[in-house]
Amino acid sequence: MSVPRFWRELDSRYNLVGSHCKITNTYHYPKRSFNPEAGRDSIGNMEDYQFKGNGKVINSTVVHQAQTGYEMFGPYCIAIIELEEGPRITSQVVDCDPEIVKPGMKVKSVFRKLGEDSESGILHYGTKFIPDEVLQTENDEDDDIADVEL
């Protein structure tokens, strides 16, 4: 991706800035300057809106054949996430075993590295998601095993 193209979208990627239509009271991500549902009435009635970053998983999959640049993550989870305000976005869910990500799981946004344009190229940063609920970790399971009387 060219440097200017990514730079133009910094606010959307860093801060989840999308848009809000004052006519239909609906939210959109990525940002729109026109809302097809409201038609011409939406012109001049679209405002920037920063999403809170809370949402839930609608569906997810575990990628075992990692895309170029994502080899170090493999296997990793890609999910469709519905933000509290309504829009759905596709993102990695990180900081957890990818297999535990299920529909309905609450998630929240975090700031992470998205990729890089080669070893000497520009770094891309933006938003990913992590589970927003207490998860039983592998460490907890180890503790449980230690407590079992044999």
Spatial distance between the Cα atoms of 79 and 72, rounded to a whole number of angstroms? 18
The smaller minimum CB distance to another protein, of residues 35 and 79, is found at 79
The single-letter code of the amino acid at 74 is: G
First vs last C-alpha separation in the chain:
57
Q: Which residues pair with 110 in a beta bridge?
A: 128
Tokens standing for 145?
A: 């095993």
User: Smallest gap, in angstroms, from Cβ of residue 100 to another protein?
Assistant: 12
Between strands 106-116 and 123-131, the pairing is antiparallel
Report if residue 73 touches another protein, rule: CB under 8 A: yes
If one asks whether residue 90 binds another protein (CB under 8 A), the answer comes out as no
| Residue 37 or 97 having the CB closest to another protein | 97
The residue among 86 and 115 lying less far from another protein, judged by its C-beta, is 115
The least distance separating another protein from the CB of residue 54, rounded to whole angstroms, comes to 13
10 binds another protein (CB under 8 A): yes
How many of the other CB atoms lie within 10 Å of CB of 13?
A: 18
Cα(112)–Cα(127) distance, rounded to whole angstroms?
A: 6
Binding mask 14-43 for another protein (x = CB under 8 A): xx----------------------------
Choosing from 3, 43, 100, 123, the residue that interacts with another protein (CB under 8 A) is: 123
The answer to whether 73 touches 113, Cβ cutoff 8 Å, is no
Which residue's CB is nearer to another protein, number 24 or number 90?
90
Question: Kind and range of the H or E element at 108?
Answer: strand 106-116
> Residues in the site for another protein, rule: CB under 8 A?
10-11, 14-15, 71-73, 92, 94-95, 110-114, 119, 123, 125, 128, 137-139
